Structure 1
């Protein structure tokens, strides 16, 4: 006779993602209800009347979005897809399918032996480099053409205008704007943070974690140790994901055809060219993601070094 205690089945827990989605929906509903209530207050209505959400640009500010900006935007999106993909693979700490060692007889030659990298880290570093180069070109041309005044705050009234725009967004009553001429204040601050704060933070913390970073006992290395750099780097990645999701949502819900025409076709004629360029570029990016299989990635990396394929883990 079996006298052992009956097995108890632990209650099944809902996946963490489900709780995140539920909490996000509840928070969004609360924010919308609260924002709509605040907008009904007389003081708030006066505030929005005084600060409608857009800060005036300096005299002589350029009008319109040039074609080079559309190309930079498209390349930035393309690189970010693979940065996020490889970054999440690294963060998951899953066993890489292969390792890569740089060929020290060609390309960059160093006295010390090259360090072995996971194939995912190799991809992350390569795409990061292309993203940084693209970003440097963007910033140089941005200031050379005067387009910087559209994404850099130049007046203190941008603060109350940003609060006003945020309140209008939260209440689902979008602020009136014309992105071809001037972004609203909240957009300006958001773009400034992405370009001049989040971007450099991602680069600096990524360099701090890179295998080539000097390991000398310096004040910077003690203050920004590898663990802190990894935490900030991952938080910055999450910030980029949230910003991208909100950005795409607003582009598609605040006049999609006009917005896409501005961003992808550098036109303000209400046509559909920008939409079709967006569709084509999105298809190309999706195709590139599926085309970059582990075998293809190993073949590309093998052109620049030695590849060691790891055997598949035994099935349990």
Structure 2
């Protein structure tokens, strides 16, 4: 298959024939990276200074970073939570990748048109979409299905008590944890028994705010939304969905980066055992499960291309290149 270019116009070049786009990006990185590092150093120094202030030291003593969970809260992590964690990470990785490709690709390498016969027949005429968008929507459906299973198990087993705040003490404790993290002095904790307050707030927002927002805005932007619902479209315009959907994606990317960094920096083996091996030990079992999950994600990343997804998409529609 011939390679399609996004733009036939030759790139703008400088006086020595070098593309200006690459040099401008390099120049931006040379400015942003040192500034970001300087800001991080300043934040650490500020946090360390604050910890020596008597009032702040007393605050950290009164609010060490966590509060007691409700009576009957489960201890530890069941095996199903490890599988859910992997599947959510796997789907999110490919959803973000395909979503970015849908946003950035001007000339897709393939398109898909839904079949309008047999069990796929509907009153709405089929619309041609890119293969990237087809994969994005398909992964969304799997992610939502996995999320439904997650919600059911979360409330059926009482695990919700670990990520839903049940006391106003969560806020001062979360501030305390933020200061401790910023000063590079990790709070004393055991996630097997109880998350710290900042983790709890982050997980709550991710599960009960960001995920539903991603679904609600994604449905509004998809072809499944009724186009002839004038009043409903006026109340919930597609422009609003687009304005929210992309920042939610950025939130997920930022959450994953911070989450993985803290998992590896604050006791990697024990944390990976919690997440992947359902035990509270310091063995290498969780690490190897984690390494295997990375291999699966890498394979999924490679296979998420028109060459491989085209035959699958053709089972429910017509694929054109």
Fold shared per TM-score above 0.5: yes
Return the match for 1:101 from 109, 113, 118: 113
Q: Spell out, residue by residue over 1:28-59, the C-alpha distance to the aligned partner (whole angstroms, 9 max, x if none).
A: 22211211111110000000000000121011
Partner of 2:24: 13
The secondary structure found in structure 2 opposite 1:133 is helix
Partner of 1:186: 198
State the Cα RMSD in Å: 1.9
Q: In structure 2, what is the Cα distance between the partners aligned to 1:39 and 1:139?
A: 39
Q: Spell out, residue by residue over 1:123-162, the C-alpha distance to the aligned partner (whole angstroms, 9 max, x if none).
A: 1000001001111110111000000000000011111000
Partner of 1:312: none
Partner of 2:8: none
Question: What is the deviation of 1:114?
Answer: 1.3
Q: In structure 2, what is the Cα distance between the partners aligned to 1:229 and 1:22?
A: 35
Partner of 1:66: 78
User: Closer, same or farther in 2 for the Cα pair 1:165/1:219, shift >3 Å?
Assistant: farther
Partner of 2:6: none
Return the match for 1:135 from 129, 143, 147: 147
Q: In structure 2, what is the Cα distance between the partners aligned to 1:155 and 1:178?
A: 19
Question: What is the deviation of 1:79?
Answer: 0.5
Q: Spell out, residue by residue over 1:233-288, the C-alpha distance to the aligned partner (whole angstroms, 9 max, x if none).
A: 01000000000000000000000000000100001122211111111111111122
User: Closer, same or farther in 2 for the Cα pair 1:230/1:93, shift >3 Å?
Assistant: farther
If the length of structure 1 is used for normalisation, what is the TM-score?
0.91
Q: In structure 2, what is the Cα distance between the partners aligned to 1:67 and 1:13?
A: 48
Partner of 2:158: 146
Partner of 1:3: none
Q: In structure 2, what is the Cα distance between the partners aligned to 1:37 and 1:246?
A: 23
Q: In structure 2, what is the Cα distance between the partners aligned to 1:291 and 1:29?
A: 40
What are the within-5 Å matches in structure 2 for residues 258-277 of structure 1? 258-277=270-289
The secondary structure found in structure 1 opposite 2:24 is coil
Q: In structure 1, what is the Cα distance between the partners aligned to 2:231 and 2:188?
A: 49
1:202 matched to 2:214? yes
Worse-matched range after superposition: 24-33 or 110-119:
24-33
Q: In structure 2, what is the Cα distance between the partners aligned to 1:30 and 1:106?
A: 64
User: Closer, same or farther in 2 for the Cα pair 1:128/1:226, shift >3 Å?
Assistant: same
Gaps of 5+ in 2: 1-13
What are the within-5 Å matches in structure 2 for residues 19-98 of structure 1? 19-98=31-110
Q: In structure 2, what is the Cα distance between the partners aligned to 1:78 and 1:107?
A: 30
Q: In structure 1, what is the Cα distance between the partners aligned to 2:210 and 2:35?
A: 26
Worse-matched range after superposition: 42-51 or 114-123:
114-123
Say if 2:94 and 2:300, in contact at 8 Å, map to a contact too. Answer: no
Aligned residues: 303
Partner of 1:225: 237
Worse-matched range after superposition: 224-233 or 157-166:
224-233
Q: In structure 2, what is the Cα distance between the partners aligned to 1:32 and 1:219?
A: 51
The secondary structure found in structure 2 opposite 1:306 is strand
Partner of 1:235: 247
User: Closer, same or farther in 2 for the Cα pair 1:289/1:214, shift >3 Å?
Assistant: same
